[in-house]
Structure 1
């Protein structure tokens, strides 16, 4: 609700990402989610878009996201 004004159902864990950026350490749990109610409205992010499996490489991902994107691709 906080970032998308949408109710979701949290599913299985995709992976936990651990990444050391120059000024901080990121630890991020990533889950499959399903929209339950509401409409997706970006409140915090600068940009977002829906991507098909074939479009995943059309985005310049942040370093911490790259391993996650590979795991998402494998499970799609």
Structure 2
């Protein structure tokens, strides 16, 4: 078994956070997640996250501090998920490499089926928002 290092962006705009829906033909298709993706070999996590957001949503962000680190196994695949707080810079996202996206409050996240690795992040955001 090997470990995939994956980054995710908690992009905040006022009281809402950007979530994205995975494409139907992807692993965990049509489930929701925080946007991001796999790091390339020896890539700086913040740079990799910035690159992934451009590739997935065609938008620029400012990557801030780490918010949470999640270790999760999907069968034989181990994911180390690095979640960063990110600043929205005003550029409207597009569905360049995702099915859909929504700006939602942490409370509204209960209405979306999230990938298993993202669920602890949702719960932490909801606790933080109380």
| Same structural fold, with TM-score higher than 0.5 when normalized by the shorter chain | yes
Tell me the TM-score normalised to structure 1 length.
Answer: 0.84
Q: Which runs of 5+ in 2 are unaligned?
A: 1-53
Deviations 1:37-68 (A, max 9, x none): 42211222222211113211111111111111
The TM-score, its normalising length taken from structure 2, stands at 0.53
| Count of matched residue positions in the alignment of Structure 1 and Structure 2 | 76
1:61 aligns with 2:114: yes
Q: Distance in 1 between matches of 2:115 and 2:84?
A: 18
Runs (5+) with no aligned partner, structure 1: none
Q: Tell me the alpha carbon deviations over residues 6-62 of structure 1, each in whole angstroms, 9 at most, x when there is no partner.
A: 111112211111101013111110111112242211222222211113211111111
Residue 104 of structure 2 corresponds to residue 51 of structure 1: yes
- The CA RMSD measured in Å over matched residues stands at 1.5
Equivalent in the alignment of 2:66: 13
